[in-house]
Amino acid sequence: MRKKVFKLFFAWQDEKEEEWLNRMASKGWFLESYHIFYYVFTQDIPQPDTIYKLDYRKDKESDEYFSLYEECGWKYVTQFHGWYYFKGDKNNVFTPELYTDKHSKSEKYIALLFTLLLSILSLLLIGLSITTNSLPSTLSWFKYIYLFLIIIMSFAVIKITMKVKYLRK
């Protein structure tokens, strides 16, 4: 049996997303795929020892990347725009965390920050083009969408920067 769930998590909430996925597994729902805020689960026997972990990489990963995690007991599940989803049995994985030190974990968030900053820059350039050129009145709402996106992404940059600072202490 399959189940589709719409759930909103932001980039700085990866640990909350992992906790939610762990709770779903303990109820017998296992992640099959993910697309923006849209999860697909398959049902099986509940496994409370299943844990999910997320990793972010701005570049497409190689076979070596997946082999390293596999050797440590992690199984690749799916990926979406740089976010990689892994699952494992907490009794059989080499370590319950993908990153065993704070510095390595902070590097994940720094890569995410770089991606977000490039996205904000792109949005600002598009927004500048929109505001300097006259738009038909039917598209004037477009400016507000861009402003909303820039605010949300700026908030994400602040939250992730705070995570990096915390991890670098």
Centre a 10 Å sphere on the Cβ of residue 121 and count the other Cβ atoms it contains: 10
pLDDT average, residue stretch 2-17: 94
Domain limits of the chain?
Answer: 2-89, 102-168
- Which tens digit of pLDDT belongs to each residue from 16-53? 999 999 999 999 999 999 998 999 999 999 988 999 99
pLDDT at 68: 86
pLDDT average, residue stretch 79-98: 86
For the entire predicted model, the pTM comes to: 0.85
In this predicted model, which residue has the larger pLDDT, 32 or 12?
32
Q: How far apart are CA 92 and CA 103, in angstroms?
A: 25
